Structure 1
Amino acid sequence: MSHRRFLFVLGSARAEGNTELLARRAAEQLPVGTEQRWIRLAEQPLPEFTDLRHDSDHVRPASGTVTGRLLDATLAATDIVIASPVYWYSVSALTKTYLDHWSGWLRTPGLDFKATLAGRTLWGVAALADTEPSVADPYVGTLNNSAAYMGMRFGGVLLGSGSKPGDVLEDTEALARAKTFFAREAPLARFPHESAGAQELSAS
């Protein structure tokens, strides 16, 4: 898409933490005029997701609600950036709730959520309190598989090391990667085992 609209979903419980600092460094490299919308989930907490799939249809949330505003922002974005620190090897609880709501939006009549997001790009930015990137493999898998199920492109995860506030700004390798992170062409996401089929993880 020639005109890109970025939605940054901030999933940390702490404002201006290491993950957000790294995401903003990467966003600084976007071309002038690129639309950016930043939503801090801790300031606009989503209600817990209720699975209605066997009981009744989901109803599109009103645009004036927290859920409705986040849905509208998600549908409008060409690029969705999950900026969540690595919590217990995966995304934060705030971020997981956001992704859980995707399940409801997938089943909302007339929304065409999956068809709308297909071909768009999902990115990840994360700070972790470790210097070994492999500990974030479950985090990367969560985002990759979510993108694959939705038919989205996956730009990968920009990882930085940081525990205390501001630590990530000392991670020179992460800052260097941030300069070109969003400039890369993101491929269509693929499940690690395509032969297993594209099954939604919450299908039970």
Structure 2
Amino acid sequence: MTPDRPRRLLILVASPRRNGNSAVLAEAALRGAQDAGLDASLHFADDLMQTFLRDCRDCRDEHGRCRIDDGYADFFFEHFLDADGFALASPVYWYGMSSQAKAFFDRMFCYVARSYPDSQRVRERIQGKRVALLTASEEMYPTIALSLVNQMQEYARYTHSQFVGAVHGQGDRRGSVAEDRHGAMAAAEALGRQFFERPHADYHVDSVR
């Protein structure tokens, strides 16, 4: 981040439903971020990816570049790497994240693997972001989204990033998370508004306290 620009928050909706519960939570986070003066934007995974990860040994061209010709590469280089924060909005599908969400992370391998010519620069730019999770499901019990939280936490650990929050909302109809009685909408807005201000602590045995 340069001193003369606001911090950039990228929100990705990894649901096939444009007006589904994941999108409703993402829009709430976007409102909060914009209220705080952040450079925030919302995107849909279906606009970026038309396929899953392939075998890079067969897929790369003679210069080591990925041959998958959809919108992922442009989004990854022009938006994701430049972002200071990343919030993923995913429904809970089969007690895990959606296939679109998983594919988004899987496709990063095309550019962080050493077979990609500029992988060192990509690995440097992928690190140190703030990340967060927004999830929605029909069911409502404390650990319903635990596997998604765990995966985001491990992603943050692996990339030396900071996992700053997770919001879960319940909705059994399209968009009905807006009626969530546990405050999911307010929590999503607060997450967006406080995205770069929330304290983060990840202690180790040798941490100074």
Report the TM-score range of the alignment, normalised by the length of the smaller protein.
Answer: 0.7 to 0.9
Tell me which residue corresponds to 1:117: 126
1:70 pairs, out of 45, 70, 75, with 75
Write the distance in 2 (CA, Å) between the matches of 1:116 and 1:159: 29
Greater Rg by CA:
2
Instruction: Summarize deviations over 1:160-183 as a string: whole Å, max 9, x none.
Output: 001211210111421232232131
Counterpart selection for 2:173 from 159, 164, 167: 164
Specify the SS of the correspondent of 2:172: coil
Percent identity over the alignment is 25
Q: 1:77-96, aligned counterparts within 5 Å? A: 77-96=83-102
Instruction: Report SS of the residue matched to 2:117.
Output: coil
Q: Equivalent residues in 2 for 1:1-204 (5 A)?
A: 3-30=6-33, 31=35, 33-52=37-56, 59-60=64-65, 65-72=70-77, 73-107=79-113, 108-111=116-119, 112-172=121-181, 173-182=183-192, 183=194, 184-185=197-198, 187=200
When the two structures are superposed, what TM-score results if normalisation uses the length of structure 2? 0.79
For 2:117, the aligned partner's letter is P
CA–CA separation in structure 1 for the residues paired with 2:49 and 2:202: 28
Structure 1 residue 38, shift from structure 2 partner:
2.0
Note the C-alpha offset of 1:88: 1.0
Give the aligned length.
191
Matched to 1:96, the amino acid is K
Query: How far off is 1:188 after superposition?
Result: 6.5
Q: Measure how far apart 1:189 and its partner are.
A: 6.4
- Deviation string for 1:111-139 (max 9, x for gaps)? 42232122111111111111113021011
Look up the equivalent residue of 2:184 and give its one-letter code. Answer: A
Deviation of 1:53 (Å): 6.7
Gaps of 5+ in 1: 196-204
| Corresponding position of 1:200 | none
The one-letter amino acid of 2:131's match is: L
The answer to whether the 8 Å contact 1:160/1:174 transfers is: yes
C-alpha distance 41-93 of structure 1, shift in aligned 2 (>3 A) = same
Moved more, 87-96 or 171-180: 171-180
8 A contact 1:127–1:162 mirrored in 2: yes
> Could you state the TM-score of these two structures normalised by the residue count of structure 1?
0.81
Q: What is the DSSP-based 3-state SS (H/G/I as helix, E as strand, rest coil) of the residue aligned with 1:146?
A: helix
Query: Which amino acid letter does the alignment assign opposite residue 138 of structure 1?
Result: S
CA RMSD for the aligned pairs?
2.9
Does the CA contact (< 8 Å) of 1:119 and 1:188 recur in 2?
no
Runs of 4 or more off by more than 6 Å in structure 1?
53-58
Amino acid in structure 1 at the alignment position of 2:76:
L
* Contact 2:15/2:45, CA 8 A, preserved across alignment: yes
User: How far is 1:159 from its partner?
Assistant: 0.6
Distance 1:54 1:47, change over 3 A: closer
When residues 37 and 177 of structure 1 are mapped into structure 2, their CA distance, relative to the original with a 3 A threshold, is closer
Consecutive unaligned residues in structure 2, runs of 5 or more: none
